[in-house]
Structure 1
Amino acid sequence: MAPCVTEWVTSCTNLILSATALHSSYRLFKDHRAPSVGLFLLGLSAALCIVHPSGSYLTSIQKEAEWAGEVLAPALVSFDFLWLSEDHNTAHILLCGSCLLLGLCDWLSADALTVMTRCLGLSSLSCCLTVCLFAGNALGALSGVALSLPLLVAPKVGAITFAPLISPAAAEGLVKWLLKGSMAVGCWASTRALSMFLLDVTDRCNMGI
């Protein structure tokens, strides 16, 4: 795949993710502050990745911002599901764990950071699925899976043999595009799911259940 085409598709996927995440953040801000912040950071990092500066320092900032957005978005969405279900202790543990990972990332080795990132991704996903499956909220489960995929998928796509159908570099780019599309779907689904879940909780409270 030509470099110019690859760069163009990457910019388009980042643009779609940024627009979807920022719109979802705006819609959630009134009633769901934690997920709104997470999706805002995800959208902001995607917008930052649209620009391709030549300086390596700015490129490293882009990568760190992208990673931070991918870590916080699913964790804060799961935090709100837990909070609305009144499991405040687990919600606080998940929030503290995600913040601790962000604070310690510079002191961890690459392998340790990968392990800790995947552990946090699994924790966020399991919390979201547990709450949503018991509540019958299919969109919430979809949002948890879609937002957590980038934390769970192995980054070393080039190690897999795709020849002669596709080069390792193109395969890695394809996986990144699919993951960004998955996160865009997760942003949309989380907005609908959290609104439905809040309405369900409010109805239960009004009925005295």
Structure 2
Amino acid sequence: MASTEWVTLCSNIILSTTALYFSRKLFKDHRGPSVGLFLLGLSATLYVLLPSSSHLASLTWAGEVLAPVLVTFDFLWLSEDHSTAWILLFGSCLLLGLSDWLSPDTLTVLTRCLGLSSLSCCLMVCLFAGNVLGAAGGVALSLPLLVVQQVETAVVAPLVAPAATEGLMKWLLNGLLSVGCWASTRALGQFLLDVTDRYNI
């Protein structure tokens, strides 16, 4: 049990450091994605400092929802697909606003739908632009919204304790989010350079 808690704690420290660092790097040219990564880093920091906080679950969920959406919003905006960008942003804000009035099952379904919408838009823009890092970052940031939130340990890992399975899943997802922060930051910087060069020709 103690080892599982330490693994989760370390993964949150790594995520907090990574997300806040890349949030600062993005702030000058990409304010939206910067806010999304900041929320990820803030929720991970809160887990480290105040693991029993009543706001932890809500903040973590909000960060996992907004980070991929805001990254995709920036890709769509730079590719001049402004209407799709606004629709995606409006949908995410609507989900956040209605989350307290939705049943858990409905909230899970809508969260996954939003994750799929964000990921498909990100992949469409990045693959057409040849931005492989952007596609990889979009997958890494969106995956926590798409995986099963409660692991069925009796089916997935019958020989592993439920706490250990949950800790391993959290560690893997935090690792993916950290990779997504790095990849998305690099990809957005490259995408902005490509767009700038195209308009300067």
State TM-score, norm by structure 1: 0.93
Question: Which structure exhibits the higher relative contact order, with contacts defined as CA atoms closer than 8 Å and separated by 6 or more residues?
Answer: 2
User: Counterpart of 2:158 in 1: which secondary structure?
Assistant: coil
Q: What is the aligned partner in structure 1 of residue 198 from structure 2?
A: 204
* Equivalent position to 2:15, from 7, 14, 17: 17
Hey, what's the Cα distance between the residues in 1 that align with 2:10 and 2:184?
22
Q: 1:136-175, aligned counterparts within 5 Å?
A: 136-159=130-153, 160-164=155-159, 166-175=160-169
Supply the AA of the counterpart residue of 1:162.
Answer: A
| Pairs within 5 Å for 1:1-209 | 3-54=1-52, 58=53, 60-159=54-153, 160-164=155-159, 166-207=160-201
Q: Cα deviations across residues 85-141 of structure 1 (Å, max 9, x unaligned)?
A: 000000000000111110000000000000000000001100100000000000000
Unaligned runs of 5+ in 2: none
Gaps of at least 5 residues in structure 1 are none
The offset of 1:206, in angstroms, is 0.4
Identity over aligned residues, as a percent? 70
Opposite residue 116 of structure 1, the aligned amino acid is: L
Tell me, in whole angstroms, the C-alpha distance in 2 between the residues paired with 1:79 and 1:73: 10
Deviation at 1:163, TM superposition (A): 2.4
Cα deviation for residue 147 of structure 1 reads 0.2
Structure 1 position 50, deviation (Å): 1.1
Q: Describe the SS at the equivalent of 1:157.
A: coil
Distance 1:52 1:162 in 2: 30
Residue 21 of structure 2 aligns with an amino acid whose one-letter code is: H
CA shift, 1:63, in A, is 0.6
The superposition leaves residues 146-190 of structure 1 with CA deviations (integer Å, 9 ceiling, x where unpaired) of 0001000001213434122x2222112111110000000000000
Q: Cα offset for 1:53?
A: 4.8
Root-mean-square deviation (CA, aligned residues, Å) is: 1.1
Q: How many residue pairs end up in the alignment?
A: 200
Stretches (4+) displaced over 2 A? 51-54, 158-161
Residue identity opposite 2:131 in structure 1 = N
Output the TM-score relative to the length of structure 2: 0.96
- d(CA) in 2 for partners of 1:20 and 1:161? 30
Q: Which amino acid aligns with 1:96?
A: F
